Chains A and B, each alone.
Chain A
Amino acid sequence: MPSKTLVEAVNDALHVEMERDDAVMVMGEDVGRAGGVFRATAGLLDRFGPDRCVDTPLAEAGILGTAVGLAMAGWRPVCEMQYESFSYPCLDQLICHVGRYRWRTNGAMDFPITIRMPTGGGVKAPELHEDSPETYYVHTPGIKVAIPSTPADAKGLLAAAIRSPDPVVLMEPKVLYRSPREEVPDGEHVVPLGKARIAREGDDVSIIAYGGMVAVAEQAAAEAAASVEIVDVRSLKPLDEETLLASVGKTGRAVIVQEAPRVAGFGAEIAALLAEKAILDLRGPVLRVTGYDAPFPFWSLEEEHIPSPGRVLEAIDQVMSF
């Protein structure tokens, strides 16, 4: 298997899926001539031509809005939002239409729209280039959301998103775009939505994380005295409750790590799930390590905002000594 970075794996998936299905088209700002600001779409314009790899006007709501019509005309649009924070204008289309249209047709029509975007901080970028807005998407009915933490999963989840009859938001942790490198299966590779991954096995405490926070959890686990299991959520909606509950059932302790601001973040949803379905398994409080209820800071302070291995270790200690 070839070794690839996460962004190379995304690029590979786009090539494979566009080759496989000529209804798949890629659209977004700078995705064609430039190959995307992160090079995720490099080579697509040359390979598939300007009808299937479209440089659009600078208009995120227009990109997603026209994607709704393109889907009605038989396309499977893959929309790139250049940065997660630039996706906010498209929330209007997402909430008002993308998540509702299938329901509006009493289930008669599919809206196989994929929305890709880089997400998260840790890359020392200007304001509004480092947010973690997954909650907005997860909270919208009709929308599925996945966030890979490895190159192979990025390829497989993107393929699943493109093949899904439902709209899927795929959020790609930009801190992982260029490293590490890992083996990625060649050709068609699909990681089904709705399946979590045990990233590390352990017995004492489950760390539940996704995206860029899986690596933070792994660093903390390597230093922890306790035996740590790491559950990489991968698919926020649909959520693999079974894997989460099995892990917490085994360890009896849960620490949830999310980079997004704390209030009503996805970690709260997982904590509620554990309260509802794992209460008798728990030996201590479900703890969350999160970003703060504050704008993502200027990058000189970003490491103070993003959950660190040290903060995760503190939470592990706290729940182990409860």
Chain B
Amino acid sequence: MLLLSLFWEFFKTGLFAIGGGMATVPFLFRMGENTGWFNASMLADMIAVSESTPGPIGVNMATYVGFTVASIPGAIVATLGLVTPSVIIILIISVFLSNFKDYPVVKTVLTVLRALVIGLLLYAFYQIATIALVDVKTYVMFAVFVVLALWQKKVHPIFWILLGAVLGLLLL
């Protein structure tokens, strides 16, 4: 039963998270709240691990959440749940709609969805920030990271995450 609801929760996430990678994060916050499987601070750690390991972030997140909820079977079921809707949709597009992305209706809906993802992600940021930023020291660290990440565009996120770990050990 638990595996079935894991599959269903990730199926919904896979179906509605459009734009890849980070787009799954807002849905996972809500999933944690609704099911009680994990809290926001655990999710923040999962995001860090998913960004620092090989493979697509969304897939890594699903595996991690699934493993936390129901061990190895959970990891497999959650990941399959996440990819099932996109496999079905891509197959339909491959067979019937070769010029899918050029339809005017698709373009209009996408313009709206791209803007929406900004708002959804901003709320996900707000949820993590409430946990991570607790005093002046953490606010200053946050500001420094934002400036560094904006300035050094080519540096891989894994570097900032490792730096965060080192600073956490030394300063927090």
Answer yes or no: are A and B bound together in one complex. Answer: no
Instruction: Show the binding face of B for A, using Cβ within 8 Å.
Output: none
Instruction: Show the binding face of A for B, using Cβ within 8 Å.
Output: none
